[in-house]
Chains A and B, each alone.
Chain A
Amino acid sequence: MAELPRLAGGTGTEKLVSQFLAHEKPIRRFVRTLVFNKDDADEVFQAATVTMLEKFDTLDAEADFGRWARRIVVFKVLELIQKRKRDRLRFGSEATLQALARDAGEMSDSLAARSLALEKCLRQLLPQNRKILADRYERGESVEVIAATMRRTVRGIYQALARSRKALHDCITQSIDKPEAAS
């Protein structure tokens, strides 16, 4: 009768859950940097998660879970590229993908710090711009629908999104360089 391997610090299940809990957000973030299309990113994350479940018992107890998970993700992204060939809004070059994966892996800590700085920076935006960001990215509304709902032009919403993202990027960079800047 097969059992999931027991590792130091608890059962295999507990270990997998605790590792997954600690790494889920960085893994999802990593997927998103490699996959431009959000639906594809969700699909890759799901496929990678299943593979992690299947292969977890092959992972050395001392191995770096994050690095292992990133390798699985890159593999799944390549599979997706193979499967779909060049659909819209996908990278097609394995070399670019591998370069992005390497850089994103190395930037992992600084990206986590950037995520933490977001909340304070968001509070510096006007409420209507925060709402546009939420409608667009969190709720997945199209720019056209946001424009119709808010009685603004499509161009106006597009510009508001671009400016807000730039303002957030600059604020986050500043707050990483000078931690007091965003407070």
Chain B
Amino acid sequence: MNTRSQRELQNLLDVLLDGPGGDEEMLRLEAALGSDADARRHYIEHMTLVFDLEQEVDTSSPGEPAKRPEKLVLRAILLALAVSVLAALTVSAGLLVLKNEPPVAAVAAVVGNQAVDDSPHAAMPPLARLAEVDRARFSDEAGPVDDHLNVGAYRLAEGAISLVFRNGVELDLESPADFEILSELKVVLHRGRVRAYVPDSGKGFTVVVPEMEIEDLGTEFGVFVGEDRATELHVFSGEVKLHRDGRAPESFEEGLAAVWRDGVRHDLQQPDDSAFLTRSAIGYRRWLSFSRRLRADPSNVLYFDFERDPAAPNRLKNLGGAGPAADGVARGAFRVSGRWAEKGALLFERDDDIAEMTVPGEFDAFTLSTWVLATRLDAIQAICNTRGWEPAAHHWHLRRDGSLQCSVRDGYSLRSPEGSASAGVWMQLAAVVDRTAGTANYYVNGVNVLSCEWLSDSPMRFGPCFLGGWDASRTRPPRGFRGRIDELALFNRAFSAREIAEIHEAGSGFDSSAFVAARE
């Protein structure tokens, strides 16, 4: 099999396994396998891989214990049980019984997949999952199990959540809300505020409210059912069909909004998009609440959220409570939107676009965390560096091969593996350097990409620092960062790997597909 044939075979497998492949691709695959032993070998190896992945993919992180339940042993025990049942039936009723349906079917049911529920994931996927949660509390008797929701009644007492159904339907709910899931195509809303996003795969999804049934025809709409059971409906895009007792279905189109109270419709001027939380907005709220906790951490010495400040457009207000670090200033870099449309960030476009700040004092340990989106990876780029290169200074660069270059003067200078970082996607980068413990750890999106041991007699110092560039006034090649930075936090203690992962998790509730053009 030549390289081209191998590529074609792989493309066929990709499109048949996960894409829209159908009969035509299946026939081509069969033709390729029938005539080429190498193709068959590749195919068999690949299907073996798929089989192994279907058994269990270990999603634990390095360092955590692997989770691999002994499925086969349990199945063998069940098989032994089945054989005993079979033998007993055979003994008691003679061989004729063995040929009849009931005992064979019973064995099949015990040995077959449906009955051997030997892993937490062996059952069908849940009807819906919690995809975003902000300080949510369900009432004790009516909440999801883990993050799974199936048929049943739920009461969201506090906070906000986003659910994604198996068919791709997304519901964003704000408390207080009482709702019932009847199926992946039908939900009853007794009380509360919900935004529904229904893709083509969920057409026909229906929200039942006191006044009517709202059938979706592929759209986005908001429904509010108040304590008085009046129903408000806002259609943001597409069209819904209203089913009311004894009446013909009624179309309700994009741009319309109305309230039904005691069976009477009162039209509203226009839909109010801001009255219904989106999943991104719930993710933003979750981040904001976490961010306030970070700023209040006694070890926080510097915190920039990069929000816009019309009164002082270039000032970077230090929101950190504990440290003596002053505000920073943006020079060239300017305010744009960040991970969320409503959140600010700094954009660095040219070599001399930088931000400056001063961090006084000495550090035996520090944690530096930031969210960045690099728009290109074609040169070495400074993330956050001390202005000079004095003893015990810390420098942090992104290289063109996607590695992080991390250095403490007279301590270490190391690079993470190639491809640790990517262009076109938001990444959380963190540096955790501890002189007293003699360790340094660097993370991308909560994953440790570089770890080292080192020794130093003197504490670390920052002093004047650059963000997004390094000493462009020198004649050496510029190290200007290209992209956006939307959060920067410095702490005077070493965070644990779990704390770093928490920062990443709390800041990940944004819509990454909004940046799709840059990534793909």
Contacts and interface: CB of A to CB of B under 8 A. Distances in A.
Interface of A: 1-4, 13, 16-17, 20-21, 24-25, 28-29, 32-33, 36, 38, 42, 45-47, 49-50, 53-54, 86, 88-93, 95-96, 99-100, 103-104, 107, 111, 114-115, 118-119, 122-123, 126-128, 130-131, 133-134, 136-145, 147-153, 155-159, 161-162, 165-166, 168-169, 172-173
B30 A92 contact: yes
B168 A24 contact: no
6 contacts: A118-B53, A141-B166, A142-B168, A148-B199, A162-B18, A172-B45
Interface in B48-64: 48-59, 61-62
B167 interface: yes
Nearest to A103: B40
B107 to A, nearest CB: 6
Contacts of A93: 30, 34
A89 B26 contact: yes
* Secondary structure type dominating chain B contacts: helix
A2 B44 contact: no
A134 B121 CA distance: 10
B409 interface: no
Contacts of B44: 33, 100, 103-104, 107, 111
Contacts of A17: 76, 79-80, 83
Nearest to A46: B112
Contacts of A128: 445
Contact of B447 (A25, A45, A127): A127
A50 B108 contact: yes
A46 B113 contact: yes
Instruction: Assign chain B's interface to a size class.
Output: 35 or more
Interface stretch (B137-145, B383-391, B489-497, B508-516): B508-516
B201 interface: yes
A181 B35 CA distance: 33
Nearest to B25: A89
B294 interface: no
Contact of B18 (A20, A25, A92, A161): A161
Contacts of A153: 513, 516, 520
A107 B41 contact: yes
A137 B111 contact: no
Given A49-B108, A53-B82, A88 B51 contact: no
B452 to A, nearest CB: 20
B94 interface: yes
A101 B174 CA distance: 55
B311 interface: no
Given A138-B121, A144-B199, A13 B83 contact: yes
Nearest to B82: A53
Contacts of A143: 18-19
A53 B14 CA distance: 36
B66 interface: yes
A180 B111 CA distance: 38
Contact of B520 (A49, A91, A118, A156): A156
B450 to A, nearest CB: 15
B14 A158 contact: yes
Contacts of B59: 127, 130-131, 134
Contacts of A91: 26, 30, 33
Contact of A49 (B54, B80, B111, B168): B111
A150 B168 CA distance: 11
A67 B43 CA distance: 21
A156 B41 contact: no
A142 B201 CA distance: 11
Given A93-B34, A100-B40, A149-B131, A156 B513 contact: yes
